[in-house]
Structure 1
Amino acid sequence: MTGEPNPLGDYVRARRELVTPEKVGIPVSGARRVPGLRREEVAMLAGISADYYLRLEQGRDRNPSVQVLESLARALQLDDDATAYLLRLGADRPRRHQRRRARKETVPPGIVKLVATLPLPALVEGRYFDVLAANALATALSPRFAVGANRLRDLFLDPAEQALYPDWEKAGAGMVAGFRESVGTDTDDPRFIELVGELSLASPRFSRIWARHDVEACEGAPKHIDHPQVGRLRLNRERLGIDGTAGQTLVIYHPDPGTDSADRLALLASAVQTPTAPHATTAAEQARADTDSPDAVHGHPKGVSGKSRS
């Protein structure tokens, strides 16, 4: 087992270190050498032996029962998203160690057309938060909302992107948690390895947040943006899963009607040069160019599901 990835053990260890004895009603006396709970304390709270918990954390036992995982989730005070993630880790089976090719993500042509015609800022995010399509108003909202950009990389490495968000550090923590939930147990994907490795080296803040193993489903929520041209905007962000794709999401920003944000977004829209035919930056050309690719999504245009991507 030595040297093999141990995602289950890494996860419970990280979460154990974030739970204080006071949170679970364990009295504290004297100095403690470890942050959070001790292994034997987690085992006691979960109703399993300390030796068995140690084997789980060290990766010497990788197939715990659902009951054991649910007991650990309660002991570690995991919410529903984090519990679901823990169950997926426990159900994961060792993979053969073979080099995988990065798989190209292609937006269904019908979604490209939809994004181009929407009168609101709209973009398509891939599983790893790459921007796969965007309309002109989205790019006007942020120049980083453009095909080829990566939302996670930009938020942690681009000061101009950070300046858009009044509380970019909170936004970054939420995005990292959503990224981990989106990827799940598929951590041997080359795109995942490349992105996490780059950010871990370039951003100490990302590295600290990543080490916490936070997990949170990406859902629609109000977002505040300090736009350099039109000022403060409060926009509702909706995230809709795209049918027939491996984790692509249609992201739409819209203001509440009759608000200052609605007026400011309309002002921004009026400044965007509208071509004769609606156009979603270079995404349509990219989709056509990818049609002959063996990794492209073929068939009729796919639709959008009303379920938010988790």
Structure 2
Amino acid sequence: MANMQGVATFSVIEPPAVRGTGRLTSDLDGAAVQPPSFGGVLRRLRDERRVSRERLGMAAGVSASYITHLELGRRGRPTQAVVEALFACLHRVQPVSHRSRRYLFDLAGLPDPAAPPLAELRAAIDPAKLRRLERLGPDPAGYFDSRWHVLALNDAARLAFPGLTEGGNWLIWLLEDSRAATALLDREAAAAASVSVLRARIAAFDVPEWSGDYLRDLGRSSEFRRLWSRAQDLDHPGERIIRLRDRRGEVPLDMQLYDVESARYPGWIRMLWGMTC
């Protein structure tokens, strides 16, 4: 699948020029610029919470000297279990933002098993992204997270998929809302394709902890369990074309799914675009 590439602009603030020297200086002249490190971030988080190395090590099941070696960069990258235990201890003392958590796991070279809060993902759909949806005109489109939760829809999507609204879930709408069966000629085919997409995304993250509760909730549906089992057959991933019923009769849509590049939430925001065939 193609990615929707965003364009970022950066403002560069230059240090003030020193008159008569012909060069630029700053308060950091002569200081070595160091790359970010897992140990450096761990030390900052620990110091901010006034947690001793002994306390942090005990909570994580490692020694205080191991914490020292991590902070000084004298040990290799810690395991997933150790990073989760270190984070849990620091978070209990004083909440750590999701952004800082993600940064810590990135520096450890590990995938973060925690799903971003849904409210944060919705807040990430800024006015520019909403304008992008509306520019698609009559084509229904929306932003979703990797669990198929709706983050934002354009007017065409609200009209095409009655009952699907912000805060809802595309997959649950397909499986449980009677309006989906009315709106779509092939609701089950669309549901099967959507289950396959979910299964592939969980596999791509390679850390399925975030999906446990979600799958348990979906698993209460016998149809979901059947489609989930069928999705194991990679030769039959499901139809990409869905057909709407409306006053014009049958309207086929080619459903395109794109990852929306996000530095803060990589892999978590996607656009579903129904292109009129």
TM-score when normalising by structure 1: 0.45
Q: Which has the higher contact order (CA 8 A, sep 6+)?
A: 1
TM-score when normalising by structure 2: 0.50
